[in-house]
């Protein structure tokens, strides 16, 4: 579990994932050395990461929520194969370890659906598959799980927000589509982006706190030009910064994917209502018989039961519900870190 200062640091990074340690320290009333030490400890021991993600809609990409079922002896191998792909994110083992849920980003048109149309059908280990197109996200991407953003006052958050970016960037814990973090790699070329911009996004996807000097080297620009361009991309919503952290460290010992069937006329109303629920880190409208998908983060099975039967049960318009406990998250929004990768994050 995180202590009060750790939670404040995580919240600060959600407000601005690239905020210098000196500014975070000033807001938290501690020394920059303390912030740097806590950050590095959370990176090494808790898997804390800041990752930059491109808005899939601006990139002309389509997101799919993929559900695969495989035999008990093949599911983990199949899941690891999905983890290694650059077009996947949010790879989770559910339902006794035989079902895999993942986010897949594709280019529009059949040529962009290689995984869906060719690779999976050729995989003998897959016994069942369904792909649900993500139509609209009510919570996810830059909209954070509320539990991860409760440590700082409004005044502290205002002091951390980048002055030139307008609205604050508040990425989610686990990512979610429809805002860039639809958990996934920043693929494609959004309108107005050149090769240097794509190189910038690629570097941020690996580490959202990559120092300006390294961003400049990756893009062939000067540090000042790289900084200005990054500010523009964040300001117009083309890219945002997500924060990855095991939600168990924030008290979520029980995770479950929820598949809800909603009367069509009430999908938007129910989606907006669920987006206000503190227990949900992700809510999106999808295609398929279950037209809303959500991720619940609860303290334990009893807490999940209370949420499903009480708060969720009070929402009118839900006609059916399927819940699938998450046993393990193999991949979140960013690429799986390489063993031994150095901490290159800027301290400011």
Mean pLDDT on 270-284: 97
Mean pLDDT on 274-295: 96
Q: Which domains does the chain have, with CATH numbers?
A: 248-327 (3.30.70.920)
Q: Nearest 5°: CA angle at 19, between 38 and 331?
A: 65
* Cβ partners under 8 Å of residue 2, min gap 6: 10, 42, 46, 249, 250
pLDDT at residue 44, as a whole number: 93
pLDDT at residue 181, as a whole number: 37
pLDDT at residue 23, as a whole number: 97
pLDDT at residue 7, as a whole number: 97
- Which alpha helices (DSSP H) does the chain contain, by range? 4-15, 21-28, 32-46, 75-84, 114, 154-160, 195-206, 212-219, 223-235, 267-274, 301-306
- Residue 45: pLDDT above 50? yes
- Residue 105: pLDDT above 80? yes
Q: DSSP letter string over 6-61?
A: HHHHHHHHHH-TT--HHHHHHHHTS-HHHHHHHHHHHHHHH--EEEEEE-TTTTT-
- Residue 173: pLDDT above 60? no
String of b and e for 39-72 (b: at least 16 CB within 10 Å)? beebbeebebbbbbbbbbbbbebbbbbbbbbbee
- Residue 185: pLDDT above 50? no
Instruction: Reduce the DSSP state of residue 216 to 3 states and report it.
Output: helix
- β-partners of residue 324 are 257
Mean pLDDT on 257-278: 97
Cβ contact 51:244 at 8 Å:
yes
- Residue 81: pLDDT above 70? yes
pTM of the model: 0.84
- Which alpha helices (DSSP H) does 143-207 contain, by range? 154-160, 195-206
pLDDT at residue 166, as a whole number: 38
What does the alpha-carbon distance between residue 262 and residue 285 come to, in Å, rounded to a whole number? 10
pLDDT at residue 348, as a whole number: 57
């Amino acid at each position: 579990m995180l202590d009060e200062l750790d939670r404040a640091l995580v919240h600060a990074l959600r407000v601005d994932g690239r905020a210098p340690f000196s500014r975070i320290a000033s807001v938290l009333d501690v020394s920059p050395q303390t912030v740097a030490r806590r950050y590095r400890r959370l990176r090494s021991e808790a898997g804390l990461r800041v990752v930059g993600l491109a808005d899939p809609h601006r990139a002309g990409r389509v997101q799919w929520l993929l559900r695969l079922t495989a035999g008990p002896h093949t599911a983990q191998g199949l899941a690891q194969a999905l983890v290694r792909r650059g077009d996947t994110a949010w790879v989770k083992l559910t339902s006794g370890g035989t079902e895999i849920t993942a986010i897949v980003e594709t280019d529009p048109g059949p040529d962009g659906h290689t995984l869906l149309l060719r690779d999976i059908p050729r995989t003998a280990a897959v016994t069942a598959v369904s792909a649900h197109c993500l139509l609209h996200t009510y919570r996810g991407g830059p909209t954070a799980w509320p539990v991860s953003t409760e440590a700082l006052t409004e005044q502290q958050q205002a002091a951390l927000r980048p002055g030139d970016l307008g609205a604050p960037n508040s990425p989610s814990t686990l990512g979610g589509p429809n805002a860039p973090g639809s958990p996934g790699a920043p693929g494609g070329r959004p309108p107005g982006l050149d090769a240097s911009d794509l190189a910038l996004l690629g570097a941020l996807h690996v580490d959202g706190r990559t120092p300006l000097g390294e961003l400049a080297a990756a893009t062939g620009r000067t540090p000042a030009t790289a900084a200005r361009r990054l500010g523009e991309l964040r300001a117009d919503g083309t890219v945002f910064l997500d924060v990855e952290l095991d939600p168990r460290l924030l008290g979520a010992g029980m995770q479950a994917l929820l598949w809800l069937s909603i009367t069509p006329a009430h999908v938007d109303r129910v989606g907006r209502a669920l987006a206000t629920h503190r227990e949900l880190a992700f809510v999106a409208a999808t295609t398929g018989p279950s037209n809303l998908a959500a991720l619940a983060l609860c303290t334990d099975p009893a807490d999940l039961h209370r949420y499903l039967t009480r708060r969720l049960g009070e929402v009118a318009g839900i006609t059916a519900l399927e819940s699938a406990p998450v046993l393990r998250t193999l991949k979140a929004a960013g690429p799986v870190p390489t063993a031994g990768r150095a901490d290159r994050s800027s301290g400011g």
